[in-house]
Structure 1
Amino acid sequence: MAERTEQHRERAADGARIPTVIADDVHIIYKVNGGSRGKGSATAALNRMLRRKTAPGMREVHAVRGVTFVAYRGESIGLIGSNGSGKSTLLKAVAGLLPTARGKVYTDGQPSLLGVNAALMNDLTGERNVMLGGLAMGMTREQIRERYQDIVDFSGINEKGDFISLPMRTYSSGMAARLRFSIAAAKDHDVLMIDEALATGDRKFQKRSEARIRELRKEAGTVFLVSHNNKSIRDTCDRVLWLEKGELLMDGPTDEVIKAYERETGR
């Protein structure tokens, strides 16, 4: 049973805070291949598509189950839970990348989802990716040029050489993740969702990332952070949502929720 604190609703009612995301009884269901031994040829799959039939062995996964919460401007909210608990799936729904089977998600402003697996143009240089990434987020060319050096410096890409002028395929996964975060953090977001971005890079970069998230909060944005690193959650977030098996088990102050999570899981 979810412990949804009434203080969030009460503060919204008296006008003290402005809601940025409202999740109202959200259910997300998707279909996966169950490993059927039936006909698996491309021709058979095409025939099933044309006949609008579900492939044999296809099963439904109820990834998010009746999640309800309200996020407010200026908050930094951590999402915790074991692998497969629905954290990343929920963020994709908030970002508008996944449809809800039931329930609704309402957002004020444009949500931006940043994940360590977000696509980058491997054949283009880091410099070109900074430009394209900024444009994709709605920044003007002038804004990107003004913030370009700050993005490069923040990422630390050039600390060991002129990597920003090299193709992205020459980067390590950590370098690519740092540049991706740096591009996203250069813009003031209405709602910024970060999926494991702070899990990459050394402690020095994590500290810079945490400081930038605190700045984003001061600039009246809302930040969501998915991480298995409880220290990053404690250092960055003032509120935590705990999900397990797609259900919201607890929603409250960071220290309170993480202590309950650690007691339950031993992590």
Structure 2
Amino acid sequence: MADDPIIDRRAPTVVADGVHITYTVNGGHSAGRGAATAALARVLRRGGPAPAARRVHAVKGVSFVAYRGEAIGLIGSNGSGKSTLLKAVAGLQPVERGRIYTQGQPSLLGVNAALMNDLTGERNVILGGLAMGMSRAEVRERYDGIVDFSGINEKDDAISRPMRTYSSGMGARLRFSIAAAKSHDVLLIDEALATGDARFRRRSRRRIDELRAEAGTVFLVSHSNSTITETCERALWLEAGTLRMDGPADEVVAAYEEFTHTGAKERGK
């Protein structure tokens, strides 16, 4: 019998080469506010001049190489470009300049991942599994494990209710459970581990370790620095769209915390 192939864990899975990403925000200063506020602003200015569109340079010349078996955290202030960069790696956000090369098909998991609110959790597991590339047989085989992992059925038969009746935490746990039910060349996770209790976060971290052991690469965006240091061995720090630091997660997080602490002290003067 032939020997099992040796997995080269230093093989690149994602290469970002001088990436610049820009996009246009319509509505001037009302962009980014809540939907109700934006709607009110549109009513009040009816008949007036249309607000100017605003161009946002979200990612500025970012370069890095990710390798098989790595778990990489993305940290930075709000609006620093983390989620935008993740979408670009997934192929969902165009790059204006520079290039992104990927090995295999990246899969993006976020708290706003598209599941159908009017369908039951059960139907969403089936549709989500198919969307992640599983066959119907694989979805049937893994269905119970997905539901059990999510923990949403522990108090009642929530899996039989429409997704719109779920809390944000329940929805995020189900999304993660669907995505984590199969191996990925590159799995991109945007804040999905920030919801749920400590037990679910422990299960999630163990599953991320398993995905890495299966030769995948995991990217994790989180505002929880402890989640980054507990889950990832490497971190990228983005600030105002630029890559400030790339290195061991504990060192990058420490530098970022010093930066935010110093900034808070200066603002308090």
What is the TM-score of this pair, normalised by structure 2? 0.86
Q: CA deviation at 1:122?
A: 1.2
Q: CA deviation at 1:56?
A: 5.6
> Which amino acid is the alignment partner of residue 180 of structure 2?
A
Name segments (4+ residues, structure 1) moved above 4 Å. Answer: 35-38
Q: Does 1:264 align with 2:259?
A: yes
The correspondence for 1:205, drawn from 192, 200, 203, is 200
> Which amino acid is the alignment partner of residue 170 of structure 2?
M
The correspondence for 2:234, drawn from 232, 236, 239, is 239
Q: CA deviation at 1:187?
A: 1.0
**Equivalent residue runs for 1:165-244 within 5 Å:** 165-244=160-239
Q: CA deviation at 1:191?
A: 0.3
* Residues 130 and 136, structure 2, Cα contact 8 Å, conserved in 1: yes
2:21 is matched with which residue?
A: 28
> Which amino acid is the alignment partner of residue 148 of structure 1?
Y
Instruction: List gaps (5 residues or longer) in structure 1.
Output: 1-14, 46-54
CA distance in 1, matches of 2:146, 2:227: 22
Distance 1:150 1:24, change over 3 A: same
The correspondence for 2:70, drawn from 66, 72, 75, is 75
Could you give the per-residue CA deviations for residues 67-97 of structure 1, whole angstroms, max 9, x where no partner exists? 0000000000000000000000000000000
**Equivalent residue runs for 1:1-267 within 5 Å:** 17-33=10-26, 34-35=28-29, 57-266=52-261
CA distance in 2, matches of 1:174, 1:16: 33
Q: CA deviation at 1:173?
A: 1.1
> Which amino acid is the alignment partner of residue 23 of structure 2?
Y
Deviates more, 1:168-177 or 1:243-252: 168-177
Distance 1:152 1:172, change over 3 A: same
> Which amino acid is the alignment partner of residue 20 of structure 1?
T
RMSD (Å), alpha carbons: 2.2
> Which amino acid is the alignment partner of residue 231 of structure 2?
T
Q: Counterpart of 2:153 in 1: which secondary structure? A: helix
Distance 1:172 1:57, change over 3 A: same
Instruction: List gaps (5 residues or longer) in structure 2.
Output: 1-7, 31-40, 265-269
Q: Counterpart of 1:23 in 2: which secondary structure? A: strand
Q: CA deviation at 1:228?
A: 0.8
Could you give the per-residue CA deviations for residues 17-51 of structure 1, whole angstroms, max 9, x where no partner exists? 1000000000001111225999x879x99xxxxxx
Deviates more, 1:89-98 or 1:26-35: 26-35
Q: Counterpart of 1:250 in 2: which secondary structure? A: strand
Number of aligned positions between the proteins? 243
Q: Counterpart of 1:157 in 2: which secondary structure? A: coil
Distance 1:35 1:232, change over 3 A: closer
Could you give the per-residue CA deviations for residues 158-192 of structure 1, whole angstroms, max 9, x where no partner exists? 10011111111111111111101100000101100
Percent of aligned positions with the same letter in both sequences? 73
